[in-house]
Amino acid sequence: MVKVNLKGAEMFFKGNGPDYSAAAAAHKTLSEGTGAGSDFRGWLTIPEIIKETELDRIVKAAELIRSRSKALIVIGIGGSYLGARGAIELLRPIPAEDDPQVFFAGNGLSADYLNDILAKLGDKDFDVNVISKSGTTLEPAVSFRIFRELLAKKYGKDADKHIFATTDKARGVLKGLANENGWESFIIPDDVGGRFSVLTAVGLLPMAVAGIDVRKVIDCAIEEMKALDVRSPENPTWQYAAARQHLYQNGFGVEILGAYEPSFRFMAEWWKQLYGESEGKDGIGIFPASVEFTADLHSMGQYIQEGPRMLFESIVRFTKPLSKYAIPFDDADADGLNYVAGRDLSEVGAVAADAVKEAHISGGVPNIEIDLDSRDEAGFAALVCFFEVACGISGYISGVNPFNQPGVEAYKKNMFRMLGKPGAK
């Protein structure tokens, strides 16, 4: 289970500190479905539901792909790819010898990015997993058209056997195409928004193809959701949600999520969408940003340490590293590093993290520490459940609907009009 350490933020609290009565009320609103957006709380029970419905078929489809292909093209944007990419880069940063490469397309409109994927793909056998509620979102729809053409050229009449659709259960262009062409399809539940969908087929199929044990992920998520239903200030989701909202009310409007594992980068991107779309509305909201430590200490460290005092940081730390590496001894000691020779690199990294925490707090940056045991399936499941539940609670504390995103349509209207889409205004 995730543990939250607020000691690095306590000196910045005012009055009675975080309002746990507000957290309790928000949690009650979330669990009982009495708040705005209550129709989109399916993610609270999706681990149990997916285990009883689609999980076996997801694993079977992944086994088929792994048995015949060297690559999987995942086509999706936003919540349709960030969770899966975050999971794969966190848990499988280096694919095993038999793992297919997983490429993510349809998340932008760069010809250069697309051609880079095609160059890496080469003549490998591949499958496509297209993920979209509607099938008409411009970026993934364009990419899907391109890869359907490539499949047709490579596999001819068997091309449709290499397409897996994750889409609406009953309606939409993509669902219609899947039915018409016989593509195996999986469901994006009606009551689960994209940014909360990583524990559905949206995230699980790509993860399973990459070699992640998705059965373990789901089993751990089921247990974690139960553990996070505790109604007490001891609940880490209450601690995180109440603390960040308290800091926001006292002038800290930017939250930096950081970690000391480079493989965490796309988990941070997933987190940014989760909190940015959930809370940034009605003229309010904490701005979510991210950093990669220790690398970004040599680029952003100066700003964090001595820039405007509007930042607070939430740092994810994995307390049990997956591997070890002893720093070697050098007789000449020209670099003066023999004082750490023989010590494990992870141990030195942990000391660095403690030193950074101390420096940032003394510089006026509140620190929230989010601790997990290890970077594995259980840790991933715990982190996803923790951030999702805390997001719902935090959104309700702030007074917004955490489950809509009306602002994301503004640019689309302009884009369709500028591109000359029929009927666009």
Which are the catalytic amino acids?
A: 277, 298, 412
Q: Which of 146, 102, 143, 145 is nearest to 124 (CA)?
A: 102
Q: How far is CA 266 from CA 206, 292, 397, in A?
A: 15, 11, 27
Q: Cα 95 from chain centroid?
A: 19
DSSP 8-state code for residue 341? T
Q: Report how far residue 388's alpha carbon sits from residue 195's, in angstroms, rounded to the nearest whole number.
A: 9
Instruction: Please report, for residues 49, 137, 160, 189, the alpha-carbon distance to residue 134 in angstroms, rounded to integers and kept in the order given.
Output: 23, 7, 19, 13
List, as one string, the DSSP characters of 343-394.
SBHHHHHHHHHHHHHHHHHHTT--EEEEEES-SSHHHHHHHHHHHHHHHHHH
Burial of 302 (0-12, 13-18, 19+ CB in 10 A): exposed
E strand or H helix that includes residue 152: helix 138-155
Three-state SS sequence of 20-67: HHHHHHHHHHHHHCCCCCHHHCHHHCHHHHHHHCCHHHHHHHHHHHHH
CA 84, CA 90: separation in Å to the nearest integer? 10
Cα–Cα dist 117/114, whole Å: 5
Query: What residues form DSSP beta bridges with 258?
Result: 291, 315
Sign of CA dihedral 4, 401, 365, 302: positive
C-beta neighbour count of 30 within 10 angstroms: 23
Neighbouring CB atoms inside 10 A of 313's CB total 25
